[in-house]
A and B are shown apart, each in its own frame.
Chain A
């Protein structure tokens, strides 16, 4: 495959990019040859998508230069990049649900005469392209919304293929495809290679990468770890480079006495996001939940909490023989389950309202008498909670919107602690907050466990999970891929488990 593909069409040197609070890329070099499939792999947040976005003009690098076909290349926008023949098929679908398949594929240039769309020509052209990606049995005039998610993905890819390009970036193209669709996609990729198109292929699925890529670039924490031809790599070698071997293991917490089972989940199912998930968490224990983006962690927690209705499965509380009837968050909270959502601004807080009102919301019965608010009691409760969690604010009258991310998260914790639940589910509690606040939250988790609470700690940061958890459950493709005890785990094992479901899928 590699023979003859030596002409470099794109080079990027010293690309850096930071987002508020995160260094997404630091000094990364990358190059792409004509007719080559160059895979980008790495953990969540390693910077793969960011790099592809910069190349496709979707994002702009802070520092670093690029050259395209020997010319300086600095796309001002996605359209600008496309004009120079660089296209990207994004991870999330960008289709317009109410329009037809054909309209979506040609949305940027509908064949028309004086503004009136020529549907005959449009649908004819669409059929040709759809045949290439195996959508021949779909009428180009059907609305995209009536297709399955995998087919929509193929339409998105078809739209990418429909335009002449020199470079095509595919971000997790197979995430929701069936084996047959993947096969068709690979066939198309090979055809594009023959046309000397350079392909940037981002994937979590190592087996797939080994199969289709000519070269593999591994990124970790925004840094370039390796760029080597595929035939000189093994799956395990790639995983090792993704997770890094040099990491000393930090332990922030000494495991205490673990009590009886506080929550037991049996055979939970919800669509294809949660598949037969079973696990237990004990009093005084912190159970970490690891997994890649889209592995079904949040969906599982939402189903346990009743935020989404599970298709089947049961939840048992503190050794009950009878399954708990949880059909709404209200039921869950009454059964003593707390859920601190990942999206604290959108789902956790009443942003424009005072910290005091956020903290008291779930226990208004405690700060009122006969339906009338007892505001002085409410203030003292809120002040006490804010003090206990050292929320940095001018007073509890300040609105939650004015706080930093870390302090907002503490308000969410304060609110749930005031409600006093036995099982607390934290979904990415340290996402986007500064290091100091992170450690305060780890301490809180430890204190709660000491008090005999059962903690479920969902995180994409393996380092923090290994630092504070007693056990780590790894999810992959909606299933439990493994549960590891503190003395038996390693980053490699956990990463291999996190990748296992997707590997099984693609084989």
Chain B
């Protein structure tokens, strides 16, 4: 009796350890398939879809959304939300532009100031959420207004043209922003699934009270996540500013919703406790390919938005079914 118990345990441990690669692939297979299907459809439907320029355009466009989506994934996993990312990106970009144009500071210092601006916004969000136990929705909605206003104040509501001094980061057609985004996705996934911090994040999102009663203070963990989101948003600001060679106080409008949509398509739960950075990346790619493909097929902007909206909702419904199926063998 005892031996069979042990044997069963032993075999199940083996089964778990050996095929770690297929399990890893299986998690993303659905998303990759959806992306592949989209590519095939648009490849057939739009004649000039499979061109280098087209992919380069998509890759460059998704970089900043991807980086913000990584931060948003962490925030959603702790059952939070950050509505301020679009405005914070504009503010961080504005700081970068003003440092260079108005004060003539060198690029590294301007970038440091830009990142600091993002971190400060994240810190403010996190401190208010943890100190006064306010819902992140409200706090970051406030920050959305504050940061947007601040971006206009910093730039006097004017777009700061920086020129090639900052453009070097983006490079000409070199895809550097995309590479940076991919590296951040990989690092983000490693932090989430391989570090103590990542484990705490999932635990807090799963059951904050249980974590607190286990003698672990959830507040620094939540604070850390908001700071991380602000920091990543500022990196996105550097990249988008470099690509435009200008700091626009109106940049990033609607970015928060695009990022949340991508993360949700990737299967991260708004209720917290569950999510994957790599899946969020697939979510960003799916939306971007969908939009690019539709516009190449000559679909107008309004129709595009209707279709994108339907895809977001359909993706979440599908994800729910997937989880229900996985949960059914429960007694």
State the A residues within 8 Å of B (CB). 305, 307, 328-330, 332-334, 339, 341, 346-353, 357, 361-362, 364-365, 368, 371-373, 375, 379, 383, 392, 394-395, 397, 401-402, 415, 419
Contact = CB atoms under 8 A, between A and B. Distances in A.
A333 B216 CA distance: 9
Given A353-B203, A371-B195, A401-B330, A328 B217 contact: yes
Contact of A352 (B9, B216, B273): B273
Binding site of B, secondary structure by majority: helix, strand, loop or mixed? Answer: helix
Given A352-B273, A362-B216, A395-B12, 13 more contacts: A330-B215, A330-B217, A333-B214, A346-B209, A349-B207, A351-B206, A352-B274, A357-B203, A361-B203, A365-B196, A373-B194, A392-B5, A394-B8
B16 A352 contact: no
A362 B211 CA distance: 9
B56 interface: no
5 shortest interchain CB distances as A-B pairs: A333-B215, A395-B12, A350-B206, A364-B196, A368-B196
A305 B209 CA distance: 14
B138 interface: no
Contacts of B9: 383, 394-395
B213 interface: yes
A351 to B, nearest CB: 7
B16 A329 contact: no
Nearest to B6: A387
Task: Identify the interface centre among A339, A392, A395, A401: most chain B CB within 10 Å of its CB.
Answer: A395
Nearest to A306: B215
B197 interface: yes
Contacts of B196: 364-365, 368, 371-373
Contacts, number: 90
Interface string B282-319: 00000000000000000000000000000000000000
A452 to B, nearest CB: 21
Contact of B194 (A351, A372, A419): A372
A365 B9 CA distance: 26
Nearest to B269: A352
A362 B214 contact: yes
A353 B194 contact: no
Contact of B199 (A328, A334, A373, A401): A373
B257 interface: no
A330 B194 CA distance: 24
A65 B197 CA distance: 59
Interface string B209-229: 111111111000000000000
A359 B31 CA distance: 32
15 contacts: A305-B213, A307-B213, A328-B212, A329-B214, A330-B215, A333-B215, A350-B203, A352-B274, A353-B206, A361-B211, A372-B196, A373-B194, A375-B194, A402-B331, A419-B215
A334 B216 CA distance: 10
A347 B215 contact: no
A379 B10 CA distance: 12
B202 A361 contact: no
Contacts of A394: 8-9, 12
Contacts of B215: 329-330, 332-334, 362, 419
Contacts of B195: 368, 371-373
Task: Identify the interface centre among B194, B214, B217, B274: most chain A CB within 10 Å of its CB.
Answer: B214
A221 B217 CA distance: 42
Contacts of A371: 195-197
B75 to A, nearest CB: 19
